[in-house]
Structure 1
Amino acid sequence: MIYIDPPLWPAHGTFFSHLISDTSLEELHSFAAAAGIPRRAFDRDHYDVPRKRHADLVAAGATPVDGATLVRALIAGGLRIPARERAASLVHPLRRRWDSLVPEAADLGAELLNRWGEPHRHYHDRRHLLQVLEALHRLGCTDRPVLLAAWFHDAVYDGVPGEDEEASAVLAEELLPSAGVPAAEAAETARLVRLTASHDPAPGDEPGKLLCDADLAVLGRTPPDYDRYAADIRREYSRLDDAVFPEGRRRVLESLLTRGNGLYRTRRGEELWGSAARANLTRELAALSEGSAPAGTGCGSGAGRG
């Protein structure tokens, strides 16, 4: 069943309602498409719809409920996004990780967390930072420059491939020495950050392989998680219309699938995420070729950067 709560959430000079399904995302996307709601309005487990649409969505079949009932319906349907997947709830767990990595550098940790929490980020936010750190743990990484590079690799994010990575590397070079990090470690951190522009480390670059594999680990998540990632990337590229975006996304997917040295460069990364990542990428490419997209992605999933 489709539910909608009252338009109580202020933004962009109006108020917004949440539109959800307690059955499946497929049902939700089908209802939204029939009602003319763009996919860019999808936010992981709901659509944000402006007040002016509330009455006609109810007329189209959405059941009006209060906010608490809507949340309970999401939970009962198994579609509620858990707290660890919501960027705002991750400040404290990430802060503990930073404090153990660079003791006595609390101010720098706070600055980085503020950067990762900027409102224009929909995928490259604190959730992504935590996912990369957790992926490095699964890869057995304890190398501090690699972990620092995870913190800095999208510290500057304006949606400009190449320029963002360079600006993030420069930021590491500027801020780490004053936080007590030795010059050699700061330089290695910046070098690794720059690698995330291409995700193409040299054959003998083991730290680079670890960081790049962790950054691309999202590609190997379950299909629903991959589709949410894809939808989040699409929101970050909302400035591109639906006539332009799919072609760029298609090029990114094809380049990932045809990389000469493989998608993941560590053996463990390939074991953990390789098969699922190729299946996800192939599925999205097929959907793009058909003029549709996997559930939740709209017309593709964006620039494909980690």
Structure 2
Amino acid sequence: MIFIDPPFWPAHGTVFSHLVSDTSLAELHAFAAAAGIPDRAFDRDHYDVPERRYGQLVADGAVEVSGKELVRILVASGLRVRSRHRNTKVRTALQYRWDTLMESTGNLAGAGLREELLARWSEPHRHYHGATHLLAVLEALDLLAGDPRGAPLSVVLAAWFHDAVYDGVPGVDEEASAALAQTALAGFLPPAEVAEVARLVRLTATHEPAPGDGAGAQLCDADLSVLGGEPEAYARYVAAVRLDYAHVPDAAFGAGRAAVVGRLLALDPLFRTETGRELWAAAARRNLTRELDSWHAPGQD
């Protein structure tokens, strides 16, 4: 069911309501699309809708509830995104991580490069492949490092650059991101280390590091850690990926996504580090298998 709270939140010369589902993001996106609400109004677990749309959305079937009740419904649904994963919180966390990294390595590259990267990760066309994903990868690297000093510098920098260029073209985006790393880090790091960062970025196109490639295993496992989330978190991930590829027709997206999921399931092992396997492997295979079955279900051709 779809719920809406009263117009109250001020912005852009008007006040806004929040539109949520108590069932799934798929239901929420379908309702919004039918009502003509643009994708840019979606904010991770709700749509922001201006006051002028309120009456029509109620007429379309959105149930009126108080702001407090709407929050309760969203929490109970399991779809609510925690505040630290929202854009302003994410940006603050990423700024802190970059500055701490630079301080620990002799301030190799300062605020200018940090702001360029944050601007790229915050581009409006990104939904899954945005700043929240970057923070999640960095947090996953913390878990995988097995060292109080954290992951090696080349791995952390590769995480910062691995989707820095994102136009929704697999393979091309990773190559462009690697080229950006080579250009941006030249003069800050020795050439061999710059080349290592670029090599690691390119690995995220296939997530198939060679045996013994510990750095590649850490980065690829961190990038895939989203696959091992709880079912609700995995559903948010899939919905956000669909928005990233909003320009692709449904049939083509379904075929392409099924191929991607099938390729991931074929990776053996899916996670290359021992910690990654312990933390995410079992849940990832359940999530991926369930999603692949859904694409092969009747009506999902």
Q: Do Structure 1 and Structure 2 share a fold, with TM-score over 0.5?
A: yes
Of 29, 37, 52, the residue aligned with 2:27 is 29
Deviation digits for residues 207-228 of structure 1 (CA, Å, limit 9, x no counterpart) = 1111111100000011100100
The answer to whether residue 283 in structure 2 is matched with residue 276 in structure 1 is: yes
AA aligned to 2:210 is A
Please name the residue that 2:119 is paired with.
114
Separation (CA, whole Å) in 1 of partners of 2:135 and 2:32? 36
Please name the residue that 1:304 is paired with.
none
AA aligned to 2:184 is L
CA drift at 1:66: 6.7
In angstroms, what is the RMSD of aligned CA positions? 3.3
Please name the residue that 1:93 is paired with.
93
Of 217, 223, 247, the residue aligned with 1:215 is 223
Q: Pick which of 198-207 and 75-84 moved more.
A: 75-84
Do the aligned partners of 1:40 and 1:231 also contact (CA within 8 Å) in 2?
A: no
Deviation digits for residues 89-127 of structure 1 (CA, Å, limit 9, x no counterpart) = 211211111112123312111111111111111011111
Please name the residue that 2:166 is paired with.
157
AA aligned to 2:81 is I
Separation (CA, whole Å) in 2 of partners of 1:35 and 1:96? 37
The answer to whether residue 257 in structure 2 is matched with residue 249 in structure 1 is: yes
TM-score of the aligned structures, taking structure 2 as reference length: 0.83
Please name the residue that 1:289 is paired with.
296
Deviation digits for residues 240-259 of structure 1 (CA, Å, limit 9, x no counterpart) = 12222111111111111112
Do the aligned partners of 2:25 and 2:236 also contact (CA within 8 Å) in 1?
A: no
Equivalent residue runs for 1:7-26 within 5 Å: 18-21=18-21, 24-26=22-24
The answer to whether residue 191 in structure 2 is matched with residue 183 in structure 1 is: yes
Equivalent residue runs for 1:29-178 within 5 Å: 29=27, 36=34, 43-47=43-47, 54-64=54-64, 70-71=70-71, 74-75=74-75, 79-103=79-103, 104=107, 105-140=110-145, 141-178=150-187
2:251 is paired with a residue whose SS is coil
CA 1:164–1:31: 2 relative to 1, 3 Å: closer
1:102 is paired with a residue whose SS is helix
Deviation digits for residues 45-89 of structure 1 (CA, Å, limit 9, x no counterpart) = 224668886445423542335767644653576643212222332
CA 1:51–1:266: 2 relative to 1, 3 Å: same
CA drift at 1:159: 0.6
Separation (CA, whole Å) in 2 of partners of 1:37 and 1:208? 45
CA drift at 1:285: 1.0
Separation (CA, whole Å) in 2 of partners of 1:255 and 1:28? 24
> Aligned residue pairs: how many?
288
AA aligned to 2:155 is V
Please name the residue that 1:295 is paired with.
none
- Higher RCO, 1 or 2 (CA under 8 Å, sep at least 6)? 1
Separation (CA, whole Å) in 1 of partners of 2:214 and 2:74? 43
Separation (CA, whole Å) in 1 of partners of 2:210 and 2:38? 37
CA drift at 1:2: 3.8
Separation (CA, whole Å) in 1 of partners of 2:290 and 2:35? 24
* Structure with greater helix share of residues: 2
CA 1:40–1:202: 2 relative to 1, 3 Å: farther
Gaps of 5+ in 1: 293-298, 301-306
